[in-house]
Amino acid sequence: MNFLSRLKKEDPQRVDELTNLIKARMEPVSIIDILVDVDKLTGFLDMFETVGYKEAMTREEKATRLIATLLCYGCNIGPTQTERSTGISASSILYIRRRYCSEENLLKALGFLSDCQHQTWLASAYGDGTGFITDGRRTQERRICD
């Protein structure tokens, strides 16, 4: 039983008030906006290097297409639906996936973001950094980069 469940049993009105306060202060945010902001703060999209020859794409163009591709496969919505939602062509999404989204690049980006998160003040609230919680399950963290 988690803390919120215990508190709800002890003081349900307080939990409802807190829930309403949090909802009032938090605006809905697009996942695309979150990815753009995280890239501005960390530069994590630079971890995605082409598996082929050097590309003639600007960083901005590459970032736009990578974010659409990460949305596509991260949310499991597919290239066609992503095209409808973002305006980035399905063929461009497939191209970016083939050229930039190798397992090595995905693991490199994950490790980089994990390292960035461990440098924040909030990280210390979650322990010593040897594990993480995702989807409600505690898992031992596999460090990917130094």
Whether 113 and 60 share a structural domain? no
Domain count for the chain, please give it: 2
Whether 79 and 115 share a structural domain? no
Give domain status of residue 4, yes or no.
no
pLDDT of residue 115: 87
Give domain status of residue 89, yes or no.
yes
- pLDDT bucket at 103, cuts 50 / 70 / 90: very high
Residues in contact with 140: Cβ distance below 8 Å, sequence separation at least 6, in sequence order = 130, 131
> Which residues lie across from 139 on neighbouring strands?
132
- Model confidence at 1: pLDDT above 60: no
pLDDT in tens, 61-100: 999 999 999 999 999 999 999 999 999 999 999 999 999 9
Give domain status of residue 92, yes or no.
yes
Distances (CA, A) of 35 to 1, 3, 7, 41, 75: 32, 30, 33, 10, 13
Whether 37 and 96 share a structural domain? yes
pLDDT of residue 134: 57
- pLDDT bucket at 146, cuts 50 / 70 / 90: very low
Whether 55 and 115 share a structural domain? no
- Model confidence at 132: pLDDT above 70: no
Whether 38 and 74 share a structural domain? yes
Whether 92 and 110 share a structural domain? no
Domain extent, residue 122, equals 103-146
Give domain status of residue 118, yes or no.
yes
- Model confidence at 101: pLDDT above 50: yes
Smallest CA-to-CA distance from 100 within 49, 43, 144 is with 49
Whether 64 and 119 share a structural domain? no
Whether 25 and 95 share a structural domain? yes
- pLDDT bucket at 3, cuts 50 / 70 / 90: low
pLDDT of residue 74: 93
- Model confidence at 126: pLDDT above 80: no
Give domain status of residue 81, yes or no.
yes
